[in-house]
Chain A
Amino acid sequence: MYLFVTPSVILSISFFVIPFLHNLIISFCNWNIITNNGKFLGLENYIRIFTDKIFLSSILTTTQYTIFVVPFLLFFGLLFALIVNDSNLRGNSLFQMIYFIPWVIPWLTAGLIWRFLYNDLYGPLNYLLIHFRFIEKPILFLSTKMTAMASVILVCIWKTAGYNMVILLAGLKSIPEQVYEAAAIDGASGWKRFISITIPLIRSSIALMVIMAVVGSYLAFDHFWIVTRGAPSHETETILTWLYQTSFFRFRLGEGAAMSVVLLAITGIFAVIQVRAFNLLKLK
C-alpha cells in the first residue's frame, strides 16, 4: 500500500521540500548565484525585509485583498451554483459552462484583456458606460489603490467565480431531493430552507472553497502583476509580486528567499487555523 503513495511523496519531497529548504538556507546568507554559496548573515535579511516599507505594505495589501475578495467569491460562487442547480431552469448546463469558462484561460491573457477594457481613452468599458449615460467622464479604474484593488477583484471574480461554483455545486448535488421535499411538507419557505438546510449540508464544500480562496488570494501574483504591475507607486504590490521583483529585478536573492519563508509561514498558519475552525463547526 505504501507503493501507492510513493510517487506523490517522492515528488513532494524532491520538488517542494528540498527547494524550500534550499530557500531557507539562502535566506540566511548573502547569496551569490554563480559561486553558489554566500556569507552567512544570520537574521540580517529578515531584518531588512521587515524594515522594507514596500514589503510591509504588500503584506497589508495582500491581506486587504483577501478579506475583500473571498466573501465576493463565496457570494457569486454560491449564487451561480444555486441558479445552475435548479434543474427546472432551461439551459442550465449551458450556463454552467459559461460561468466556468473564464477560469480556463491563462492569467496573462485575462490580464491583458481586462487591462485593455479598463483603459480610460480607448477602453470599451468606459465607452459603454458613458454611451449608456451611466457616467459622464471615464472612470480611472486603475489610478488609486482602492479603485485598482476593486478592479483586480472584479477580474478575479470574473475568472474564478465559475471555479468556486463547481466546488459548491458538488456539495449542492449531494443533498438528496427528499430533504427538500420533507422540508416543504413541513411548511418551510424557500429562504428558511436555504438557511437551515442547504447551508449546513454543504458546509464542507464551503469550507474547501474558502480555504482555497484564502490561500489562493494570499498567493496572488498574476492578477496584480498583469493588471496593475504594482501601480500606483507600488501600492498594489502583493507579497508575491514584490518577492519576485526583489529577487529578479533588485537582485536581492537572500531577501527574496526570506520573503518566501515568511509567506509560507503566513499561509501555513492560515491553513491550520482554518482547518481547525472548520473542524469545530463539523460533527465528524
Chain B
Amino acid sequence: MEFIAKNRLIRRTKRTLLYLLNTLMGILMLFPFYWTIINALKPRENIITNPPIFYPKGFTTEHFARIFSIPSKLGEIHYLPMMKNSLFIGTAGTMGVCIVAALTGYALSVKEFPGRKAVFYLVLSAMLIPFQALLVPLFSEMNLLGLVDNHLSLILIYITFFQPLGMFIMKNSFDTIPKAMYESARIEGCGDYQIFQRIALPNVKMGLGTVAVFTSAAVWNEFLMALIFMTSQSKFTLPVGLAFSHQPPFDINWGLISAVSVLTFLPTIMLFIGLRKYFISGVTAGAISAE
C-alpha cells in the first residue's frame, strides 16, 4: 500500500515539476512576442523608458493605424501593398515548393532510375550555400531573363533554395508508403502520374503540411533578395518595410517597428495554427527518416 502511494507521489511530483518547467520555458519563449505586441500598442514616449514598462500603458492604436493608412507624402512607406506582395509571393512560393518537392520526392522514392543519386545530391546541395553569397550573379541572371523588378524572380529563387528541405521531407514521406500499394495499382494498369496522384499524394498530407509551414515562414520572412531584386517601391514586401523602419540615421520609431514586426509574424502564426492538424503530433511517422 505504502509503496504504491509513494510511487504515485513521486509520479505526481514529477508531473508537477514538468508542468512548471513547461510553463517557465513557455513564458521565456513567448516573452519577446509579448514585449513586441505591447510596444506596438504604446505611444512613443512610453516605449524607451527606464525602468521599462511591462504593460501597454497609454494604449494607442496609432501605430497600426499608420500601417493601414495611405501615406500623404511621396516617399513615405505604404505598408498595405507590401502586405499584399508578401502574401502573394508567400503563397506562390510555398505552393511552388510543395509541388516541386512532391514531384521530385516521389520520383526519388519510387523509381530506381539512372542518375537518381545525382539528382538527389544536386538538389540538396542548394542548401549548402546561402543566396546572399550569390546575390550579384543571380541579379545579373535575372536581368538577362528580363525578370528584374518582377515578383517571379523572387518566387523562382525561393523555390530553388527552399526545395531541398522540402524534397527531403517529401521523399521520406513517400518512403513510408508500402510498396505493395504501388504494386496493386500498377497491376490495375495505372500510369506513373495516376499512381502519384491517387495513391501517393493522399498519404503524405502530413509531410506536405510540414513543408508548407516551413516554407511559408522562410519565404514570408526573407528580406535581402526582396530588397535588392525589387526596384520599385510598389513591389516591396513586408520585411523590406521593416528594414526601412529601423535603419539609422532616421526616425527610429519603435512603436512603428513593433507594429510592423507584429504584422510580419502574425500571418505565419495564423497559418501555422490553421495547419496544425497536419503538423502537430504525428509529423508523420516516416516524414523524417533518413535514407
- Interface, chain A (partner B; CB < 8 A): 1-2, 4-5, 7-9, 11-20, 22-23, 26, 33, 36, 80, 83, 86-93, 95-110, 112-114, 116-117, 121-124, 127, 158, 162-163, 166-167, 169-171, 173-174, 204-205, 207-208, 212, 215, 219, 221, 240, 243-244, 247, 253, 256-257, 259-260, 263-264, 267-268, 271, 278, 282, 284
Q: In the bound complex, how far is the Cα of B16 from the Cα of A88, in angstroms? A: 12
Going nearest first, the 9 A-B pairs with the smallest beta carbon separation are: A106-B221, A260-B133, A19-B137, A22-B137, A4-B107, A105-B265, A204-B290, A170-B288, A15-B160
Known contacts being A22-B137, A101-B33, is A8 close to B104, with CB within 8 Å?
yes
What's the minimum C-beta distance from B31 to chain A, rounded to whole angstroms? Answer: 8
Is B6 part of the binding interface, using a Cβ–Cβ cutoff of 8 Å? Answer: no
Q: Is the CB of A171 within 8 A of B288?
A: yes
Is B71 part of the binding interface, using a Cβ–Cβ cutoff of 8 Å? Answer: no
**Chain B residues whose C-beta falls within 8 Å of the C-beta of A104 in the assembled complex:** 217, 265, 268-269, 272
Is B235 part of the binding interface, using a Cβ–Cβ cutoff of 8 Å? Answer: no
Q: Is the CB of B123 within 8 A of A8?
A: yes
B52 partner, pick from A9, A13, A127, A166, beta carbons under 8 A: A127
The digit string for B136-163, where 1 denotes a CB below 8 A from any CB of A, is 1110110000000000000011011101
Known contacts being A5-B103, A167-B288, A170-B284, is A101 close to B161, with CB within 8 Å?
no
Q: In the bound complex, how far is the Cα of B25 from the Cα of A114, in angstroms? A: 17
Is B261 part of the binding interface, using a Cβ–Cβ cutoff of 8 Å? Answer: yes
Q: In the bound complex, how far is the Cα of B161 from the Cα of A215, in angstroms? A: 14
Is B189 part of the binding interface, using a Cβ–Cβ cutoff of 8 Å? Answer: no
Minimal Cβ-Cβ distance residue in B for A267 = B128
Known contacts being A117-B35, A247-B136, A278-B290, is A124 close to B107, with CB within 8 Å?
no
Most buried by B among A8, A243, A247, A259: A8
**Chain B residues whose C-beta falls within 8 Å of the C-beta of A205 in the assembled complex:** 288-290
Within 8 A of A (CB), among B254-291: 254, 257, 261, 264-265, 268-269, 272-273, 276, 279-291
Known contacts being A15-B157, A108-B242, is A215 close to B128, with CB within 8 Å?
yes
Within 8 A of A (CB), among B108-143: 108, 111, 113, 119, 122-123, 125-130, 132-138, 140-141
**Chain B residues whose C-beta falls within 8 Å of the C-beta of A91 in the assembled complex:** 22
**Chain B residues whose C-beta falls within 8 Å of the C-beta of A278 in the assembled complex:** 290
Is B74 part of the binding interface, using a Cβ–Cβ cutoff of 8 Å? Answer: no
A105 partner, pick from B103, B210, B268, B280, beta carbons under 8 A: B268
Q: Is the CB of A263 within 8 A of B125?
A: no
Identify whether the interface residues of B are mostly helix, strand, loop, or mixed. helix
Q: Is the CB of A122 within 8 A of B49?
A: yes
Q: Is the CB of A93 within 8 A of B35?
A: no
Identify whether the interface residues of A are mostly helix, strand, loop, or mixed. helix
What's the minimum C-beta distance from B251 to chain A, rounded to whole angstroms? Answer: 15
Extra contacts besides A11-B160, A260-B134 (10): CB < 8 Å: A5-B107, A15-B161, A23-B136, A83-B18, A98-B29, A169-B283, A170-B288, A207-B290, A243-B133, A268-B125
B22 partner, pick from A1, A83, A221, beta carbons under 8 A: A83
8 contacts between A and B (CB under 8 A): A11-B160, A12-B160, A15-B161, A88-B15, A98-B26, A104-B265, A105-B221, A212-B165
Known contacts being A158-B29, A170-B283, A173-B282, is A22 close to B140, with CB within 8 Å?
yes
The digit string for B155-189, where 1 denotes a CB below 8 A from any CB of A, is 01101110101011000000000000000000000
Q: Is the CB of B119 within 8 A of A108?
A: no
Minimal Cβ-Cβ distance residue in A for B286 = A174
Q: Is the CB of A108 within 8 A of B280?
A: no
Q: Is the CB of B21 within 8 A of A16?
A: no
Q: In the bound complex, how far is the Cα of B268 from the Cα of A97, in angstroms? A: 12
Known contacts being A127-B52, A173-B282, is A263 close to B129, with CB within 8 Å?
yes
What's the minimum C-beta distance from A112 to chain B, rounded to whole angstroms? Answer: 6
Q: Is the CB of A113 within 8 A of B127?
A: no
Q: Is the CB of B52 within 8 A of A123?
A: yes
Q: In the bound complex, how far is the Cα of B5 from the Cα of A276, in angstroms? A: 50
What's the minimum C-beta distance from A268 to chain B, rounded to whole angstroms? Answer: 6
Is B205 part of the binding interface, using a Cβ–Cβ cutoff of 8 Å? Answer: no
Q: Is the CB of A20 within 8 A of B30?
A: no
What's the minimum C-beta distance from B102 to chain A, rounded to whole angstroms? Answer: 9
Q: Is the CB of A108 within 8 A of B243?
A: yes
**Chain B residues whose C-beta falls within 8 Å of the C-beta of A8 in the assembled complex:** 100-101, 103-104, 119, 123, 163, 167
**Chain A residues whose C-beta falls within 8 Å of the C-beta of B223 in the assembled complex:** 106, 108
Is B36 part of the binding interface, using a Cβ–Cβ cutoff of 8 Å? Answer: yes
What's the minimum C-beta distance from A79 to chain B, rounded to whole angstroms? Answer: 9
Is B54 part of the binding interface, using a Cβ–Cβ cutoff of 8 Å? Answer: yes
What's the minimum C-beta distance from B134 to chain A, rounded to whole angstroms? Answer: 4
Q: Is the CB of A5 within 8 A of B108?
A: yes
Is B72 part of the binding interface, using a Cβ–Cβ cutoff of 8 Å? Answer: no
Known contacts being A109-B261, A124-B35, A267-B129, is A4 close to B138, with CB within 8 Å?
no
**Chain B residues whose C-beta falls within 8 Å of the C-beta of A271 in the assembled complex:** 125, 128
